[in-house]
Chains A and B, each alone.
Chain A
Amino acid sequence: MQTINRLATAALLAAAAASAAAQGTAYVSSEKDTALTLIDTQTLTVKGTIPTCKRGRHIQRLPDGMVMVACTDSNAADVIDPATGKSVRRVPLGDEPEAFDISPDGKTIFVSNEDDASASFVDAASGKVLKSIKVGQEPEGVKVSADGKTLYVTSEVANLVSVIDVASAKVVKTIKVGKRPRRMAITPDGKELWVTNELASSVSVVATATHEVIATLNFEVKGVRSEDITPVGILMSRDGKRAFVALGKANRVAFVDVAARKVTDLVLVGKRAWNVALDKAEAQLWVVNGLSDDVTVVDVAGAKPIKSIPVGRVPYGVVVVE
């Protein structure tokens, strides 16, 4: 109750902050809806939904500006033109796609196929599966290096990150990280790969030069037991100074000083904070709350929640288009 009141007050106070935001739309995917929820980033209100494929999960923008959402139960991704708000094409992504990344040239989609224990390279234009590589059971996060040469895939069961050489489509190394690794971010200088470990309440920092874990950042939240701190979503600011980590069942998002590898702020959001996105100005952080069916918009400068907005059932991912 206290939380809700506080959020409501914050919402009132934040009207000014919200009006400063650029005009745009946040697209939110939900696992139990076959629709994306569209939120006006200026008014922070839902302005509509658009139908999409089944069990929408990972959502992000393609280099050409289109919005792509991977749908696990449709074995495909939906590509939506933000200019018209309409689906322009479907791309088959193999069995049970969950998370994906896109090659820098936009031609290849790298996707984790969770029931297949594999990572696939999919031709973005034709949807043809070019390569399929076995990784550990329940593959999840997929991240490609900025030069497009190296692909990283986490396996939730194997507690490993597979390092895949894109040219040869081979696993060249496996990196042992924490329990149930989920998502990854790469520092803008390309030197570090950060991996969230859902059941270890931590982030493993991997040196990309050696592919060794060089540090582990453990999260602690006062009044919350470590087993309830389950980090999943992670994102870095463009300057690489700050990372944002959604702490799952701890219902918070952590702001992390990347160089110091220290948590600077903990912001209370909704239930089971899952994935995160930033607006272009990096003024607002969007946090998807899987178990309260809403997203929380956080003022980055003040490290304060501005507003929580109800969306679809079991929301999963968000992307902001301006």
Chain B
Amino acid sequence: MRFTARLAAGLLAGAMSLPAAAATLKATLLVPADDPRLDRALAERAYLGHATGPASDGVQMAIDDGQFELDAAQAGVAVTTQEVASPDAARAAAAAAEKAGVAVLLTDLPTDWTLAAADAVKLPVLNLGDASDRLRAQDCRPRLFHLIPSERMRSDALAQTLVARKWTQLLLLTGPSPADAVRAATVQASIKRYGLKVVASKPFKVSADPRERDLANPLLLTAGASYDAVWVVDSEGEFARALPYHTVLPRPVVGDGGLVPVAWHAQFERYGAPQVSRRFAKATKRPMTANDWAAWMAGKALVGAAVAAPKGPNAAWAQALAKNPIDGSKGTAMTFRAWDGQLRQMMLLTDGQGVISQAPIDGLLHPSNVLDTLGADAPEKLCKAAR
């Protein structure tokens, strides 16, 4: 408190020598009302790649972390969180926020809700938690940025890891949901990109019905083929969690169970990561997940923009946001891809207990930035929106 008071005094002294007063970058975070991802029973499972707590936690930590830097630059960031219950509500909330002078919109919403919000405003929109590839491809938007890695980045990271291990022959198991079908197509694209081979592909279903045992029994599902690894696509998480050690052949499980590609894990121990995870656990009493990291990065992006242009206006912040590299304790400063607004970043491979490896794998080459071996690359031209 004493500290705050002193800085406030410094701010006043500084204000005298500065012609313009400091401005506060205002942002609104839109989250779903009664977020089904955060139902206690589901959040407690803590499936890898799933959210376990509200996005506001990470955003708030970034602002707390950045306070010293903000004070020094005589800048400010204020984020308000608003719950919305439908795409229409997201659209209305976004428009109202813009009208109220908000400079940046943050969303942690289902895909169509984020699109509704983004289409209602001319503001930069930071997508915190939606990994859907279509937001970076056919449904991309000019001012839409993504902090969480895309599904494609995740599957590319895993495919690279399998290449490094020379586990090239894969059994692919896919769940019954529409999300599983979409994600399985992405997985197939990564498998193709990195020259792996699917020796067998089967659907699975979580069921105790003896008539469906061919679909539900891991032993039956993993029999009758020879493979190096089982890649399981299970957006829901329950089946994938129990699959390791239940295969007919003693082979590793990867994908949504076993070895899982994520943006962050609380056990990551390089690049100052433990300090970040420790601060998060201290503040929220839960381990920092990939979703939390993405939310934290969104907050860091706001802080970076505010510091780069302490007096605003909104247009200056929008420009700084798109260009400023962000330090996310992953070894390099990270930037948004010009072609689809995705934050390029290193990925972690985890078994849930620790970090097993990182992607891009060592030795992989790329003409301009090796991080662009993960996810949709510029020449693919999947996002047609002019940015």
Contacts and interface: CB of A to CB of B under 8 A. Distances in A.
Interface of A: 114-115, 117, 134-138, 155-160, 170, 174, 176, 179-180, 199-200, 225, 227-228, 230, 249
Given A136-B68, A158-B68, A176-B72, A199 B325 contact: yes
Interface string B56-75: 00000000011011001100
Contact of B69 (A134, A157, A225, A227): A157
Given A115-B279, A225-B370, 18 more contacts: A117-B68, A134-B68, A137-B68, A137-B279, A138-B275, A155-B68, A155-B69, A157-B65, A157-B69, A157-B327, A159-B69, A160-B72, A170-B6, A179-B327, A180-B327, A180-B333, A199-B333, A249-B331
B90 to A, nearest CB: 32
A225 B370 CA distance: 10
Contacts of A117: 68
Contacts of A180: 327, 333
* Interface residues on chain B, size class: 20 to 34
Contacts of A179: 325, 327, 333
Contacts of B331: 230, 249
Given A137-B65, A225-B369, A227-B332, A158 B72 contact: yes
B367 to A, nearest CB: 11
B197 interface: no
Q: Which DSSP category, helix, strand, loop or mixed, fits chain A's interface? A: loop
A158 B332 contact: no
A206 to B, nearest CB: 15
Contact of B72 (A156, A174, A230, A249): A174
Contacts, number: 60
A134 B72 contact: no
Nearest to A114: B275
Nearest to B3: A134
Interface string B97-125: 00000000000000000000000000000
A135 B279 CA distance: 16
A249 B369 CA distance: 15
Given A176-B73, A227-B332, A199 B68 contact: no
Interface string B355-384: 000000000000001100000000000000
Contacts of A155: 68-69
B272 interface: yes
B278 interface: yes
